[in-house]
Structure 1
């Protein structure tokens, strides 16, 4: 059954309107996740006791990291089988856990440089999202190449944990910025196309929005962290 019994420009206008409402919902949930992460990170950074609990015990710290990875994996693998409420809860819990571990940036870098980098990230992210949403060019091929580059970036980052090579560190930094700038545009286009027309207001629509929000949230956080390597000023 055709959800939109219109033809030509009328149908296209309805499709574009629903896509706009869907992407607005996605960005709303992404913003909630970022706000939750930032609030938790700032609160933890203000508490010596919490910092000691998280970073003074390797088991706690790595437990949080593993918990984050498991939550993302669980949400991606099982979102079709869980309720919209459960998907939302897992996403918000992930944002909280991420805030616990990211509290370290408020200790390592000055507040002014963190805020400045956040604004730079926001501007860059917005520009690439707008491009990804409105461009008529198919970004699928570029997205596939960026995903392969991301895998290489992860491997190089793990290797450099052991070698601590400063040249490799900066290569990884610049590569990470370029990769996540590109992924922001690609993921925005993919999320726009992911919306099922005529599905608005359903449980499936809400879960699609949560998955889209998680994807863009991860793009934003990673871009922010790589830019912070460039623009962050140490507290030392």
Structure 2
């Protein structure tokens, strides 16, 4: 039996197999020098060009790289994250910044809802004459709301579980907002309408200025914990003394002085709590503490308004 073998059936020679292998790479990332360019020792010049075949492990030369490595490597190919090419990891600072910004938006949305409820209740107590006369003639209602305010405030401030557990944290915050709004409305009913509007306007201006200042300044109010504690104690003692003196004889300048001092102290507290939200100061609060952040700002703003009433208001009795 005669077996006829054609030339195409024969296995390729070593030279043909090498040229076929390198010919498949002519469209890859390995550049070849043009014809006439002097070939370098140990460097393969490309298929069909004169030169010396490369020896094992001798893929060196200008513009050449190892077969196991792409010819053109960008910084992003070696980096696990493309954003690392700028030296900033998306899982690092940018993520923390986005979480902090979302936390600030959530706090101010809750604060806006609280202030809207408070302003609505104050408007009812000031403009609706039967309601105004009723709360003036029945001060026991004011004192009945005080325990609700105190219990919910201490629960939210001192107990981490109820403060972070949804939806109980929002329910407690809503009850606290209603209690403090009722107390603020009752206090406002003892003052003239013009005095209430003037105090509201000044409070709004002070809050805007303090917020913008805290976001722009390099002064760190969060490192002044000791000073704020001392001012709080002084304010408490001054309030007790003022109440005792005014119960025997009304002194207008003492009343206004106490109101001015209280407004200044709570303005500093507003700056302190605002910078706690920003997150780039000596002290900060966790993004999970959005209820505590809104509660702190809300109490500061309401207290500023109440102390300003002592300055601008006169009793309507």
1:188 corresponds to 2:269: no
* Alpha-carbon distance change, 211 to 116 in structure 1, aligned in 2, over 3 angstroms: same
Contact persistence 2:162–2:168 (CA under 8 A): no
Contact persistence 1:26–1:213 (CA under 8 A): yes
1:101 to 166, 183, 207: 183
Larger deviation, residues 155-164 vs 9-18: 9-18
1:176 corresponds to 2:176: no
Larger deviation, residues 40-49 vs 61-70: 40-49
1:37 corresponds to 2:123: no
Gaps of 5+ in 1: 200-204
* Alpha-carbon distance change, 86 to 50 in structure 1, aligned in 2, over 3 angstroms: farther
* Alpha-carbon distance change, 15 to 137 in structure 1, aligned in 2, over 3 angstroms: farther
Equivalent residue number for residue 202 of structure 1: none
Equivalent residue number for residue 111 of structure 1: 193
Deviation at 1:105, TM superposition (A): 4.2
SS in 1 for 2:218: coil
1:153 corresponds to 2:239: no
Deviation at 1:178, TM superposition (A): 1.4
CA RMSD of aligned residues (A): 2.7
SS in 1 for 2:268: helix
Contact persistence 2:121–2:182 (CA under 8 A): yes
The TM-score normalised by the length of structure 1 is 0.80
Equivalent residue number for residue 88 of structure 2: 8
How many residues are aligned here? 222
Contact persistence 2:106–2:290 (CA under 8 A): yes
SS in 2 for 1:84: coil
Deviations 1:63-91 (A, max 9, x none): 21122111101111123345221111111
Deviation at 1:220, TM superposition (A): 0.3
Query: Greater CA radius of gyration, 1 or 2?
Result: 2
Contact persistence 1:75–1:90 (CA under 8 A): yes
2: CA distance, partners of 1:195 / 1:156: 30
* Alpha-carbon distance change, 122 to 101 in structure 1, aligned in 2, over 3 angstroms: same
Deviation at 1:159, TM superposition (A): 2.7
2: CA distance, partners of 1:81 / 1:119: 34
Gaps of 5+ in 2: 1-82
Contact persistence 1:44–1:50 (CA under 8 A): yes
1: CA distance, partners of 2:310 / 2:237: 19
Contact persistence 2:192–2:314 (CA under 8 A): yes
Taking CA–CA contacts closer than 8 Å with sequence separation of 6 or more, which of the two structures ends up with the larger relative contact order?
Answer: 1
1:124 to 187, 203, 206: 206
The TM-score normalised by the length of structure 2 is 0.62
